[in-house]
Homo-oligomer: A and B are copies of this chain.
Amino acid sequence: MIRNTRPEDSARLADAVYDKLKNDIFDFRLLPGSALSENELAARAGVSRTPVREALLRLAREGFVERRAKSGWSVRALDFEHFEHLYDLRVILELAALGKLCAGDRGTALDDLKAVWLVPPGERRSDWIEVAQLDEAFHATLVRAAGNPELARIHEDITERIRIIRRLDFTQAERIARTYDEHAAILRAVLARKASQASLLLRSHIEESKLEVRKISLHRLHSAHRSASGAAPG
């Protein structure tokens, strides 16, 4: 699974609890819809309610848990319509970034991407966890290179929120190959400053992922998780 732990989170207990909870949700150790209580979480983590509470408040604001006044917290159910809206937002934001990238100066911001995605087929990565990370990095780098930190931040937030299902897109080898092909095509178009072509490619690239997501039922989520954690436990 893709970990979200950041190094600076070691000091504060609240951040440690936050990471733990988030990973538990992402790995389906905490199932969508299940109830959480501050006391139970605190006991389980061996801390007091205070840091647990702070972690829950953060997770609530990010949309992963819900606060039900005076009657506990719950893991938010996966709402696929919701994810589709987020994918549409990705299209909006990334197309805007692309427009700026093709129009303005972008320095060496895209050089790293070339080294990853414009490689001969033999050098492509095949581990799906790694590809999922590279995929996120590809899109994040494009957006960051547009030079608007706020745009990048919001894009990151959205990435974070769809990660829970987006990862599963790469459990099929065929999807990995397509991702490589499409990223390469997009990157070449951007480097050649072919704005409209790059836009078309990027839009259909994201729309494809969105369609894949639509196919993913809750059941498939579970089985995908089981096989994944069986192959790569921890």
Contacts and interface: CB of A to CB of B under 8 A. Distances in A.
A88 B54 contact: no
Contact of A86 (B58, B69, B93, B150): B150
Contacts of A58: 57, 61
A37 interface: no
Contacts of A92: 92-93, 96, 151
Contacts of A148: 85, 88-89
A58 to B, nearest CB: 8
A211 interface: no
A149 B57 contact: no
A92 B232 CA distance: 40
A82 B154 contact: no
Interface string A145-159: 000111100100010
Contacts of A89: 148, 150-151, 154
List the number of copies, as a whole number: 2
A158 to B, nearest CB: 8
A151 B85 contact: yes
A82 B150 CA distance: 8
Contacts of A158: 150
Contacts of A57: 54, 57-58
Interface of A: 11, 54, 57-58, 61, 69, 82, 85-86, 88-89, 92-93, 96, 148-151, 154, 158
21 contacts: A11-B69, A54-B57, A57-B57, A57-B58, A58-B61, A85-B148, A85-B149, A85-B150, A85-B151, A86-B150, A88-B148, A89-B150, A89-B151, A89-B154, A92-B92, A92-B93, A92-B96, A92-B151, A96-B96, A150-B158, A154-B154
